[in-house]
Amino acid sequence: MENITYIFSQNRKKNYYDKKSYAKEFYYGLHNFDNDKNNIEIIEFSEAKSIQQKLLKVFDKFMNKFLSLPFYTSRLTNLENLKKIIKTDHLFLINEGVGFSSLLLLIVARVFKRINTSMFVMGLYSKNQKFKILKFFHLFFIKLLVSNTNNVLFLGSSELEKASSTHKKYIDRFKFLPFCVDTEFWSNKNNKDITKNQNIIFVGNDGNRDFELLIKLAENLKEFNFIVISSSESFKKVSLPNVKIYNGFWGSEQISDLDLRELYLDSKLSIIPLKDSYQPSGQSVALQSMSLGIPVMITKTKGFWQKNLFTNNENIIFVDDFQYKTWIQKINEIFYDDLKIQKISKNAKETILNNYKLEKFYDFLNQLTKNI
User: Does 60 reside within a domain?
Assistant: yes
- Which helix (DSSP H) or strand (DSSP E) does residue 141 occupy? helix 132-147
Contact 149, 110 (CB under 8 A): no
One domain, residues 307 and 330: yes
Look up the CATH number of the domain holding residue 78.
3.40.50.2000
Q: What is the predicted pLDDT for the residue at 249?
A: 67
One domain, residues 163 and 218: no
One domain, residues 208 and 252: yes
One domain, residues 336 and 294: yes
One domain, residues 96 and 207: no
One domain, residues 90 and 11: yes
The Cα–Cα gap between 139 and 8 comes to 24
Q: What is the predicted pLDDT for the residue at 250?
A: 62
Q: Please tell me the total count of domains within the chain.
A: 2
Regions in the chain scoring below 70 on pLDDT: 19, 249-253, 372
User: Does 254 reside within a domain?
Assistant: yes
- The pTM of the full predicted model, rounded to 2 decimals, is 0.93
One domain, residues 361 and 293: no
One domain, residues 255 and 364: no
User: Does 18 reside within a domain?
Assistant: yes
The Cα–Cα gap between 335 and 304 comes to 23
pLDDT tens string 8-61: 998 888 888 776 778 999 999 999 999 898 899 999 999 888 888 889 999 999
One domain, residues 330 and 366: no
User: Does 186 reside within a domain?
Assistant: no
Contact 146, 323 (CB under 8 A): no
One domain, residues 171 and 217: no
User: Does 188 reside within a domain?
Assistant: no
The Cα–Cα gap between 176 and 155 comes to 6
Residue 100 phi, psi (nearest 5): -60, -40
One domain, residues 145 and 213: no
What one-character DSSP code corresponds to residue 225? E
pLDDT tens string 104-155: 999 999 999 989 999 999 999 988 888 899 999 999 999 999 999 999 999 9
Q: What is the predicted pLDDT for the residue at 50?
A: 86
Strand, helix or coil at 327? helix
Structural domain span for residue 41:
3-180+357-370
One domain, residues 198 and 218: yes
